[in-house]
C-alpha cells in the first residue's frame, strides 16, 4: 500500500493548492473574506463559499482515491457533506466532473453564476500538483484497500484560514495562531478494529517562497500497523527538566489548567489554534502533550495526526476513558459512531483526548488530572 500513501500525499498537495488559490486569486479571496465584513446580502452565500472550498477539496480527495482504489468507495468520509444549498436555496450535489469545464459549470451553479471564480476553482481541482518529494516508493506496507476507511478534514482550523494572519515560523518555537495552523488532514484506519494506520498532514501555508511567488507548504506522513512504525519526522525529544509542556485549546476549562500546573510550569502551558495543529506541535516536539477535556474534536481532526504520534512511540487516548480505567486501553478508534448522538456528533471524540509522544509523560498527565476535572 505504498501507492496509497503516495496518492494521499499527492491529493493532499492538490488540496493545499486549492486552499492557496482561494486566498491568492482575488475573485475567490473576495468571496472568502466578505464574511468578515458582514455584508449581509451575501452572508449566507459567502459562508457557503468557505464551506464550498471544503466540500470541493473533500470531493476531490474522495474522487481521486475512489478512482485508484474502488474497494474503498463508500468508506471515504469527512467533515462535510457534498449536498450543497446555494444562496438561492437550490440544492446542488458537488462532485468533481470528468473535465475541468464540466466542474466549472457545476461550481458556477453554486457560486451564483460567478464564472470567473468557478473556473479558477475548477482549474485548481483538475491541476496535477508538482512532484511530491517523499521517498515512499520502496516502502512495503502490509495493508489491503478493502480493509481500510479514510477520514478527511479538508481544511482544519477554518477560523485561522479565513483570518489569514501571516507569521514567520521559527525552528523549535510554537507559534499559536495564523495561516500555518490551517492543515489538510487525511487519516486511514482499519474498518475492523478502527485502529489508525496511515496519516498525511499538509500545511499549505508553511512559508512564503523567497522569490515572492507565493506560499509554499510542507507535508508530514506516518504509517503504523503490524509493528511497522514509520514517520517523516523523527521521534521528538521530551522537553528538558522535570516539567512537562502542554498545548491547549484557548477555550480549555480553568480546572484543567489548574490540575496541569502540578506537572507543567506556567510558562510551559501553551495555547494554539487548530486541533490538527496542536497534534502536529506534539509530533514536532514543540509540546509534550495536547490535552483537551471537551468533546469539540471529531474523527477527521484526530485520525491522521494519531498515526504520526503512534509512529513516533505515542498516540491519542480518550481522556475520560483513560481517567476511568487507566491509559493502557484508551486509544481512540475510528470505525464506530456514537449511537447515542446525531449528525456529526456521532463522530465526535466525546470524551476529550490527550495526544502524546511518550507513554511515561501520558501517565503523569492522567495522574495529574484524575479526580480534578
Which residues are near ligand 2IP by CB under 6 A?
79, 153, 156-158, 249-251, 273-276, 296-298, 301
Q: How far is the CB of 195 from ligand 2IP (least distance, A)?
A: 22
| 301 lies in the binding site for Ca ion (CB under 5 A) | yes
Closest separation in Å from C-beta 87 to Ca ion: 24
76: CB partners within 8 A, 6+ apart: 61, 62, 65, 66, 149, 150, 152
Min. distance of Cβ 221 from ligand 2IP in angstroms? 20
Residue 202 site contact among ligand 2IP, Ca ion, none (CB < 5 to 8 Å, cut-off depends on kind): none
Closer by beta carbon to ligand 2IP, 108 or else 272? 272
Which residue is listed with cell 449528525?
343
CB of 355 to ligand 2IP, least distance (A): 11
Q: Which is nearer to Ca ion, 25 or 301 (CB)?
A: 301
Q: Which partner, Ca ion, ligand 2IP, none, binds residue 158 by CB below 5 to 8 Å per kind? A: ligand 2IP
Cβ 352 vs Cβ 294: under 8 Å: yes
With contacts defined by CB under 5 A, how many residues of the chain interact with Ca ion?
A: 3
* Binding at 251: pick from ligand 2IP, Ca ion, none (beta carbon under 5-8 Å per type): ligand 2IP
CA distances in angstroms from 119 to 14, 44, 94, 104, 335, listed in the order given: 16, 21, 14, 5, 37
By C-beta, is 160 or 232 nearer to ligand 2IP? Answer: 160
Helix (H) or strand (E) holding 121: helix 115-126
Residue closest to Ca ion, measured at CB: 156
Per-residue cell: 207: 512559508
CA distance 147 to 226: 13
CB of 164 to Ca ion, least distance (A): 17
Beta strand 246-248 pairing with 289-292? parallel
Taking the C-alpha atoms of residue 270 and residue 308, their distance in angstroms, rounded to an integer, is: 21
| Catalytic machinery residues | 54, 79, 153, 155-156, 158, 301
Query: Measured from the CB of residue 215, what is the shortest distance to ligand 2IP in angstroms?
Result: 19
The span from the CA of 293 to the CA of 289, in Å, is 13
Contact 66, 58 (CB under 8 A): no
Closest to Ca ion by CB, 156 vs 195, is: 156
Cell numbers 484506519 label which residue? 189
CB–CB of 354/365 below 8 Å? yes
Query: Among residue numbers 155 through 174, which ones bind Ca ion (CB under 5 A)?
Result: 156
The correct pick among 54, 80, 153, 288 for binding Ca ion (CB under 5 A) is: 153
Binding-site partner at residue 358 among Ca ion, ligand 2IP, none, CB < 5 to 8 Å by type: none
Q: Which is nearer to ligand 2IP, 5 or 247 (CB)?
A: 247
> Are the C-beta atoms of 272 and 174 separated by less than 8 Å?
yes
The binding site for Ca ion (CB under 5 A) comprises: 153, 156, 301
Amino acid at each position: 500500500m505504498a501507492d496509497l500513501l503516495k496518492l494521499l500525499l499527492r491529493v493532499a498537495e492538490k488540496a493545499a493548492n486549492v486552499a492557496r488559490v482561494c486566498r491568492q486569486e482575488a475573485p475567490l479571496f473576495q468571496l472568502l473574506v466578505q464574511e468578515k465584513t458582514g455584508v449581509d446580502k451575501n452572508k449566507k452565500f459567502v459562508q457557503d463559499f468557505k464551506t464550498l472550498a471544503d466540500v470541493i477539496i473533500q470531493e476531490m480527495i474522495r474522487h481521486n482515491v475512489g478512482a485508484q482504489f474502488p474497494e474503498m468507495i463508500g468508506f471515504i468520509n469527512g467533515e462535510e457533506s457534498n449536498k450543497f444549498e446555494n444562496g438561492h436555496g437550490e440544492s446542488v450535489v458537488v462532485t468533481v466532473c470528468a473535465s475541468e469545464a464540466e466542474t466549472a459549470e457545476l461550481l458556477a451553479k453554486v457560486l451564483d453564476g460567478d464564472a470567473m471564480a468557478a473556473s479558477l476553482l475548477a482549474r485548481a481541482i483538475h491541476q496535477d500538483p508538482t512532484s511530491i518529494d517523499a521517498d515512499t516508493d520502496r516502502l512495503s506496507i502490509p495493508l489491503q484497500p478493502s480493509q481500510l476507511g479514510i477520514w478527511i478534514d479538508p481544511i482544519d482550523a477554518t477560523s485561522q484560514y479565513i483570518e489569514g494572519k501571516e507569521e514567520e515560523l521559527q525552528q523549535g518555537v510554537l507559534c499559536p495562531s495564523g495561516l500555518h495552523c490551517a492543515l489538510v488532514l487525511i487519516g486511514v484506519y482499519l474498518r475492523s478494529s478502527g485502529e489508525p494506520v496511515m496519516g498525511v498532514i499538509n500545511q499549505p501555508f508553511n512559508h512564503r517562497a523567497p522569490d515572492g511567488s507565493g506560499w509554499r507548504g510542507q507535508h508530514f506522513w506516518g504509517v503504523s500497523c503490524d509493528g511497522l512504525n514509520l514517520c517523516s519526522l523523527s521521534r521528538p525529544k521530551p522537553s528538558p527538566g522535570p516539567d512537562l509542556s502542554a498545548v491547549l485549546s484557548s477555550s480549555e476549562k480553568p480546572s484543567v489548567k489548574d490540575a496541569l500546573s502540578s506537572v507543567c510550569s506556567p510558562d510551559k502551558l501553551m495555547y494554539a489554534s487548530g486541533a490538527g495543529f496542536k497534534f502536529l506541535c506534539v509530533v514536532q516536539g514543540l509540546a509534550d502533550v495536547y490535552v483537551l477535556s471537551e468533546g469539540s474534536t471529531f474523527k477527521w481532526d484526530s485520525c491522521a495526526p494519531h498515526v504520526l504520534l503512534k509512529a513516533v512511540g505515542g498516540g491519542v487516548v480518550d481522556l475520560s476513558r483513560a481517567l476511568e480505567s487507566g491509559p493502557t486501553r484508551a486509544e481512540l478508534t475510528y470505525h464506530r459512531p456514537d449511537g447515542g448522538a446525531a449528525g456529526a456528533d456521532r463522530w465526535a471524540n466525546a470524551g476529550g483526548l490527550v495526544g502524546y509522544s511518550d507513554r511515561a509523560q501520558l501517565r503523569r498527565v492522567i495522574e495529574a488530572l484524575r479526580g480534578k476535572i
